[in-house]
Amino acid sequence: MKFDNIELNDSALTKRLKSYQFKLSLDILGKRISLNLSRSEAAKLTGLTENEYIEIEQGIDLKSSKEKYQSVLAKLNSQSNNLFAKHPEIDLRKNINSLDMRDNGKLVGKENVWTN
């Protein structure tokens, strides 16, 4: 959904939805969810208090600079990179590529649990 096309009567809400802070907050929220972090964990990781982090994640803090929002996102992104570097076994891309499809679409691997 594009917020730019919504006609709103509330000028404060319109200002918030069209702000760079709100647009970056959506990326921050998405990254936190993809990392399966709580808000408290994300706050610690980014060096913010939990209340500061929540205001950033929800795009409420319209006084903060674009750089602050980008910094929070960069710290979350670096956590994403560190997670896969430290735990390559959770990188599903590698596991998916190692699967083999044979025998009329039945999944075949080291142990063929799909056949009767």
In-domain check, residue 102:
no
pLDDT, tens digit (0-9, with 9 covering 90-100), for 46-89: 999 999 999 999 988 888 899 999 999 999 998 876 655 555 55
In-domain check, residue 107:
no
In-domain check, residue 44:
yes
In-domain check, residue 96:
no
In-domain check, residue 116:
no
Per the prediction, the chain carries an average pLDDT of 76
- Give the DSSP per-residue string, 14-42: HHHHTSHHHHHHHHHHHHHHHTT--HHHH
In whole angstroms, give the CA distance from residue 104 to residue 77. Answer: 40
pTM exceeds cut of 0.95:
no
Please determine, for residue 31, whether its predicted confidence score (pLDDT) is greater than 60. yes
The tally of domains found in the chain comes to: 1
pLDDT confidence of residue 106: 53
Give the pair of three-digit tokens for residue 101.
């499809």
Instruction: Answer with the residue of higher pLDDT: 110 or 30.
Output: 30
Domain residues for the domain of 34 are 3-87
Residue type, 113: V
In-domain check, residue 103:
no
Instruction: Answer with the residue of higher pLDDT: 50 or 16.
Output: 50
What CATH number does residue 43 fall under? 1.10.260.40
In whole angstroms, give the CA distance from residue 75 to residue 102. Answer: 42
In whole angstroms, give the CA distance from residue 115 to residue 112. Answer: 6
